[in-house]
Structure 1
Amino acid sequence: MTTRTRSHEDSVLEMLREDEAFAIEYLSVALEEIDEAGGGDAFLLAIRRLVDARGGMGSLSQNTGLAKGNLYRSIAAGGDPKLSTILKVLQALGIGMSKVVTHRTDEACA
């Protein structure tokens, strides 16, 4: 009998796609570490993985009205997106920035 396994990456993408609480926690942790060395790129990578899990750049481009090429550059490592771009992207992914920020605040108070 053969046991099927899948990669860690595939498992994470599935959880980002299907588990809203996991996706919010994932982004919250990345945001919490944004001021550390490499934290900005790590936050953008977290957003990029969520994009990949939830339909990809083509779908995101259609949902935000932003050009696909600009999205690729903005949310890649070393990208420098405007806050308005991040807000549009997160909203299109179904997770507003307020959910990400509030999630960390709620846990700190608990």
Structure 2
Amino acid sequence: MTEEFSRYDTSDYLKTDEDMALYFDACIEEDPGDGSLIRAALGDIARARGMSQLAKDTGISREGLYRALSADGNPEFTTILKVTRALGIKLHAGIT
């Protein structure tokens, strides 16, 4: 008997806006300071919502979004703002 494994993808579990908001907040909290978790969260949420629609909404190509939000990506802050606005995600500031 052989076991079958499938690749885990967080975007498969982000079903509601609340799921996405809570996930994004958790990634902001846990980010090590280099933006890697924030970038990954935006990529996961973008895939869950639909990268093609996000590309239309931001004016950035699908390929450009995949590249910017990848593990090796280094998106400009304007790209992050375009993506968060298009996804309906708000960045929050607070004092710790």
Q: TM-score range by the shorter chain?
A: 0.7 to 0.9
With normalisation by structure 1, the TM-score equals 0.66
Q: Look up the equivalent residue of 2:42 and give its one-letter code.
A: I
Percent identity over paired residues: 33
With normalisation by structure 2, the TM-score equals 0.74
Residues 87 and 96 in structure 1, CA contact (< 8 A), matched pair in contact too:
no
State how 1:1-110 maps to structure 2 within 5 Å.
9=10, 10=12, 12-14=13-15, 18=16, 20-35=17-32, 40-55=35-50, 57-97=51-91, 101-102=92-93, 105=94
Residues 42 and 77 in structure 1, CA contact (< 8 A), matched pair in contact too:
no
Number of equivalent positions: 88
Alpha carbons of structure 1 residues 65 and 29: separation in structure 2 relative to 1, 3 Å: same
Q: Cα RMSD (Å) of the superposition?
A: 2.4
Structure 1 residue runs without a partner (length 5+): 1-6
**Per-residue deviation, residues 35-89 of structure 1 (Å, max 9, x unmatched):** 35xx63222111111111112x211110001122211111000210011100100
Q: Look up the equivalent residue of 2:72 and give its one-letter code.
A: G
Residues 13 and 50 in structure 1, CA contact (< 8 A), matched pair in contact too:
yes
Higher relative contact order (CA 8 A, sep 6+): 1
> Runs of 4+ in structure 1 displaced over 4 angstroms?
none
